[in-house]
Structure 1
Amino acid sequence: MKKQKPTNEFVFNHFDLLSEELILSILDCLDGNPLDKKSFSLVCKSFYSIESQHRKTLKPLRSEHLPKILNRYPFVTHLDLSLCPRITDSSLTITSVSCNKMLRSIDLSRSKFFTHVGLVNLATNCSNLVEIDLSNATDLRDSAAAAIAEAKNLEKLWLARCKLITDMGIGCIAVGCRKLRLISLKWCLGVGDLGVNLVAVKCKEIRSLDISYLPITNKCLPSILKLQYLEDLVLEGCFGIDDDSLAVLKQGCKSLESLDMSSCQNVSHVGLSSLTSGAASLRQLILAYGFPVTPALADSLQKLSTLQSIKLDCCPVTCSGLKAIGNWCVSLREISLSKCMGVTDEGLSSLVTKHKNLRKLDITCCRKITHVSIARITNSCTSLTSLKMESCTLVPKEAFIFIGQRCHLLEELDFTDNEIDDEGLKSISRCSKLSSLKLGICLNITDEGLTHIGMGCPNLIELDLYRSAGITDSGILTIARGCADLEMINISYCKDITDSSFISLSKCWRLNTLESRGCPLITSLGLAAVAVGCKQLTKLDVKKCYNVNDAGMIPLAHFSQNLRQINLSFSSVTELGLLSLASISCLQSMTILHLKWLTPSGLAAALLACGGLTKVKLQASFKSLLPKPLFEHLEARGCVFQWREKLFQADLDPKCWKLQLEDMQ
């Protein structure tokens, strides 16, 4: 056959008719799927060029690719390196030179191996930098803080758990970064009154200040409360603050909108009253883990006329205290009483009857309430959008019908470990805006009830059916058909689930989280269907799916290129299956306990091949079987190993499991 001669005919490209402005508008609409923009850029050279100019945000997986990536995208303003565990000074130097004045924000919250040298280059070359997140950089010292101080335009800085930075380092930042609006010093144990005081005195623009768990006393509080624009103050776990120190405060902070004093064990309603005096703009108050909810506490807060949200999680509660809060003239929008001992029908009913504009209510583990409370809640608070009532085990199944009948605006429901049945689900299906539904350990529900949810709640994004043993393929099929935008589903220990459910779920193209541990009827066939259909899958748990083997790993490796976390424990996967996963560049976390056919040499090969791993859970027995240099090499790459001595345990019947759980509580 003769070769065709090349022609000089002009090939007309219809895309050339599109203006650059129109193409940029199209790109703005492609944020849903990370692969869409990649496909877009491959259409033609002009699209490739325009896409590189359009992208402003990058979240790379490996630092070794940084030079090429930054060269490809020269107009990046936000760089998220939190998925790159190993960021060296060289990496930061390359970043600072490539991005230069374009870079405005960088996230290093989970990265290590860099020092003050890299930070100096970053702060010096990227003069327009306004945000830096250095949370969890536990090795950074005052020299690093001094380097940060060179970023003169910095507005937001996160230093949570930077435990080696002291007052001296914070002082450098306070002097150098006068434009700071937000700073988080949570768990910076080397920072005390001096450092916090310097921030308050020098950084007059501060809007948000987090000094949780710092060894501070009352000495720095006057300066903090003088901050003219302070809106958000977090004092969680500040044990050095007490009533006596707060009593000397002459005025509160007028601009304050949110105050968190959780776990402040030495502060009572007396000190709280001193701190909130004059806080005319306070909207949210968090008092978890400490404050007894008594009439005295309620009275001390009654003057907060703008308060909309109060969180009292894990606080001891009295009936009279809840009644006193109910008598406030202010109308609350959010109340959280999660795990509060002492919540009864009488107190809760009095509270919700008065606060009829509630949008969010959390009564998780309030084990004394009954149908009386639910009747009051649904009668009074018909505008609820979120109701969390996990483990309210005295609430009978009939009470759940009221929720669907009266609260049609609900978007979030947590009924974990409750007596709800199919009639309750039928009623709940009237909540057409429902996006999150948790039904874990609900042993009275079946496919019949779930069918109503699938037909009535098309906006469902998250569904939790953990250990709800009455659910089978039929119910999952209805959910998959009716809830096309489903992103997260947990069907763990629903033992009658088969490959049919996975095939149904493969039609939910937005699915990113699939937890199906303890489903012994699932095989590689079903997993292959999910891999092909759910290309946005990022988290997969097939622990104790004994029939999942290497045949399921191959399609997963080919189609699930966004997969970041996988649990294969107690499955039938071998080293061949693990090796195939090496083609998933996003894969960072792997749990592989009790893989019967896994050999030390095969494991070593798989670990080396999966270059992006940052966390691996392994059986402790492998620790002595693998060479030490292997671990040193992998740890130098940024991988952390977690060793487990876990033995195989037979699964309990759901009812037995629930009884065992109740005994523990």
Structure 2
Amino acid sequence: MIMGGHWNLLPEEIIRIVYEYLSFRDIEAASQTCKSWYAVFLDSSKLQNIMEFVVHQEDSKTLAALSRLPSRCKRITFKNISLEFSGAEGEKIFSHWKCLANHIKYLTFIKCNMNERTIGNLLSYCTSLVNLTIDDSDYPFMTGRIFSESICNLNNLATVRRLEIQSSQYLSDAILMRISNIMPNLEHFSLSGDQITFHPAIWKRFYPSRQNFKYSDSVLTFKIVQNIIELRSETLTSIDFSRTQIGSDGLIALCKIPDLKLTVLNLEGCKNISQPGFEAIFSDQTGIIDLNINFCSNITDSIFRDICLRLERLKKFSFRKVSGITLCGLECITLLKEVRYLDMGYSDIFHDRQTQIVREKSLSAHLTHLDLGGLAFGQSFLKLISAQLKGLQYLNIQSCPVNDSMFAEITSNLLKLNVLKVAYLSISDQALTGVARVVASDEVDNKSDVQNRSIDENRHRIPLGLGYEEVIKTQARRKRVLKKTLETLSPDVAGPSLNNLKRLKELDLSHCVLVSDLSLMFAFKFFCLKTLSIAKCNITDEGLESLVAQPMPLNRTIEELDLSECTGITDRGLCKLLPELKRLRKLKLAGCIGLTVKTIETVMTYCPQLRCLDVSGCCRIPLESCYSLRDALPLLRIVQQGTGLLVCNPPLHFPAEGPQNGDQHRRFGP
């Protein structure tokens, strides 16, 4: 038995076993215990496949960032940086990169200002690369020479299985053919948001004859894309054409390619696809298990019915904001017996009969992710799905007509929820605390009215002229009466509350204006809550203090907290809250007009792990105090204040050395 806190004496085998039972963030926090725990953390092969290291600095700091990377890291992202291998500094960066590149499997470039030679040099040493993503980075493609043999030899990229070139304006046929030649084993191919030309006249303009055929450096045509997919059809199983101009003709040609057996197809935002294009999918690509048709405006009942009938292996189906489906098409959704992920948010397809449909045929018992955001369903429907889908782990019902009694069905049946999003709902403290079934809303109103009549002594007072004055007074009276009820109510009598959801990791209650401090006092007792949003709720300092007044370790695992537009909170509440949230990484305080410089001082003292801070609209916090955060919080990435956006020394996510023995608060990144 290890006594006295000598955790560094534990054998590595025991530490590895402990890590097996923890989530990634918990393992990261545990690795700060001492140097030996940190060494096991970096050495774990399981964690090496999960950890992602982000480098988003300028040239002068990139060398320091790369030098602090663990030698066996497998995921690296370059974001918003300019990098060149020129001069003495560039040679040092290049030498560090050679030591890292052999182990890298996932490499991402996001909005990077690098030339084609720099990217070529980076890739030439990545002998184990599996996933390559170049997103919104136009500069390397401008000259048209990227991936060419005149730049560097990239035959080592034959190991790449997943290629994503997204939001590029300068990707051309010639570049794409070079990519195809050096990456012959592609399984996933994404051209999301790229400017692909489908019109035959453009093809004739750049390729007038078949003689002296030369791939163009100026245009990206669908025929060349099709040829590349044909060449790699034996290995390709996943294609992403989201946010492109692909139409039915292009989709038909794609599906007719011999030996192409797709399992994943992303057509999000492709508004030119109609019935013939989907017919090609149903006849030639029946093995699809992941289909995304979000924002496709040409979806009709017949298309939707065929999707449910003929794509029998479908496990992930997204049709968000699809307005062409009626109740006749919706009836077929119960035919998807293998579906695990269902996103139908904002589709405006619900009707009074949807409850009868689900009752008679029922949804898939395997469903774990359900997004119903913005749908106008009734109480009977929510009661029915909460009884049928007790294995649900993700539920989004934001902007839905859900009241207190309907919310009680969730807290009583869906006990395995990890993520619950209920923003913009008319639920109150009575639903969250579990007294909605015990004490009716009108009963609380009656008690508050009686209390008001006994207190109101001056009936001839002059009103302030505020139209919202009576509403404010009524809410205060309701809160006072409900608090007294909760303090005297026995736990055996109370109904299901938010505390029933023991596995909850993410909770979004933003813009639920009827939620007040009482919910934080009586309904927030979570062991593993990571993300909490109570923006624009009726929260004051009393609620924030009660959130961390619970015994350890309740509510101490919060990493992202959104308190935007909670005008009732002041420095006092945050001074009590922030010292208890050791893992806090993201804090939003936009529009909290009661905060002053004292809050910034509290953040500097007690939030060493903070990455992002938003204090826009906090009129009493001067810009100068935000600048002082740069030196105090070396891990802080973004500070937003007013209309300005300060980028504060965004470092690499891990240091070269781990925490010292006994040092419980060593600062390092995610």
Q: CA deviation at 1:518?
A: 2.4
Letter in 1 for 2:626: L
TM-aligned CA distance change 1:134 to 1:311, over 3 Å: closer
Q: CA deviation at 1:40?
A: 2.4
TM-aligned CA distance change 1:78 to 1:384, over 3 Å: closer
Q: 1:476 aligns with which of 511, 515, 520?
A: 520
* Map of 2:195 onto structure 1: 189
> Which digits, 9 at most, give the CA deviation of each residue in 1:172-208, with x for residues without a partner?
11112223333332223268799xx9xxxxxxxxxxx
TM-aligned CA distance change 1:422 to 1:221, over 3 Å: farther
Asked if 1:588 is matched to 2:629, the reply is: no
Distance 2:225 2:63 in 1: 48
TM-score by length of 1: 0.70
Identity, in percent, stands at: 16
Distance 1:132 1:302 in 2: 36
* Map of 1:550 onto structure 2: 597
Q: CA deviation at 1:50?
A: 7.7
CA contact (8 A) 1:75 1:102 kept: no
Q: Which consecutive residues of structure 1, in runs of 5 or more, have no partner in the other structure?
A: 1-13, 198-212, 431-442, 595-602, 615-665
* Map of 2:309 onto structure 1: 302
TM-aligned CA distance change 1:149 to 1:280, over 3 Å: farther
* Map of 2:375 onto structure 1: 366
* Map of 1:485 onto structure 2: 528
Please give the secondary structure, in 1, of the residue aligned with 2:420: strand
Distance 1:22 1:377 in 2: 43
Letter in 1 for 2:373: T
TM-aligned CA distance change 1:48 to 1:34, over 3 Å: closer
Asked if 1:569 is matched to 2:616, the reply is: yes
Distance 1:517 1:20 in 2: 43
Letter in 1 for 2:147: A
* Map of 2:140 onto structure 1: 140
Please give the secondary structure, in 2, of the residue aligned with 1:469: coil
Q: 2:252 aligns with which of 225, 246, 254?
A: 246
The correspondence of residues 103-502 of structure 1 with structure 2, limited to 5 A, is 103-105=103-105, 107-141=107-141, 142-146=144-148, 150=154, 151-152=156-157, 153-189=159-195, 216=222, 220=226, 223-224=229-230, 227-242=233-248, 246=252, 250=256, 255-289=261-295, 290-295=297-302, 297-299=304-306, 302-315=309-322, 316-326=324-334, 328=335, 330=337, 332-347=339-354, 349-350=356-357, 353-358=360-365, 359=367, 360-367=369-376, 369-378=377-386, 380-393=388-401, 397-421=404-428, 424-425=431-432, 453-480=497-524, 482-498=525-541, 501-502=544-545
Aligned CA RMSD, in angstroms, stands at 4.4
Distance 2:228 2:160 in 1: 25
CA contact (8 A) 2:398 2:422 kept: yes
* Map of 1:597 onto structure 2: none
Letter in 2 for 1:323: E
Asked if 1:519 is matched to 2:566, the reply is: yes
Q: CA deviation at 1:272?
A: 0.9
CA contact (8 A) 2:404 2:436 kept: no
Please give the secondary structure, in 1, of the residue aligned with 2:245: coil
Please give the secondary structure, in 1, of the residue aligned with 2:285: coil
Please give the secondary structure, in 2, of the residue aligned with 1:463: strand
Q: Which consecutive residues of structure 2, in runs of 5 or more, have no partner in the other structure?
A: 1-5, 204-218, 438-474, 653-670
* Map of 1:80 onto structure 2: 76
Distance 1:270 1:503 in 2: 59
TM-aligned CA distance change 1:165 to 1:304, over 3 Å: closer
Letter in 2 for 1:317: I
* Map of 2:452 onto structure 1: none
> Which digits, 9 at most, give the CA deviation of each residue in 1:323-351, with x for residues without a partner?
2444x485544433211134212246425
TM-aligned CA distance change 1:355 to 1:230, over 3 Å: farther
* Map of 2:34 onto structure 1: 40
TM-aligned CA distance change 1:128 to 1:237, over 3 Å: closer
Distance 1:543 1:391 in 2: 22
Letter in 2 for 1:371: Q
> Which digits, 9 at most, give the CA deviation of each residue in 1:595-623, with x for residues without a partner?
xxxxxxxx9xx969x44499xxxxxxxxx
CA contact (8 A) 2:79 2:112 kept: no
* Map of 1:529 onto structure 2: 576
Distance 2:375 2:8 in 1: 64
Distance 2:341 2:10 in 1: 49
Give aligned pairs, total.
Answer: 553
Distance 2:607 2:259 in 1: 51
TM-aligned CA distance change 1:552 to 1:329, over 3 Å: closer
> Which digits, 9 at most, give the CA deviation of each residue in 1:387-426, with x for residues without a partner?
3333332x56544444445555444433333344556546
TM-aligned CA distance change 1:338 to 1:529, over 3 Å: same
Distance 2:330 2:34 in 1: 57
CA contact (8 A) 2:337 2:363 kept: no
Structure 1, 20-29 or 81-90: larger mean CA deviation: 20-29
The correspondence of residues 642-653 of structure 1 with structure 2, limited to 5 A, is none
Distance 1:17 1:404 in 2: 43
> Which digits, 9 at most, give the CA deviation of each residue in 1:364-392, with x for residues without a partner?
2223x323433443455454444333333
Larger relative contact order, structure 1 or 2 (CA cutoff 8 Å, min sep 6) = 2
Structure 1, 296-305 or 274-283: larger mean CA deviation: 296-305
TM-aligned CA distance change 1:84 to 1:555, over 3 Å: farther
Structure 1, 354-363 or 214-223: larger mean CA deviation: 214-223
TM-aligned CA distance change 1:268 to 1:355, over 3 Å: farther
Distance 2:228 2:170 in 1: 26
TM-score by length of 2: 0.70
Structure 1, 540-549 or 300-309: larger mean CA deviation: 300-309
TM-aligned CA distance change 1:271 to 1:17, over 3 Å: closer
Q: CA deviation at 1:168?
A: 1.0
> Which digits, 9 at most, give the CA deviation of each residue in 1:497-556, with x for residues without a partner?
115515634863322212112233322233233332223222212223233222221231
Distance 2:409 2:102 in 1: 55
Distance 1:246 1:269 in 2: 11
* Map of 1:509 onto structure 2: 556
Structure 1, 310-319 or 377-386: larger mean CA deviation: 377-386
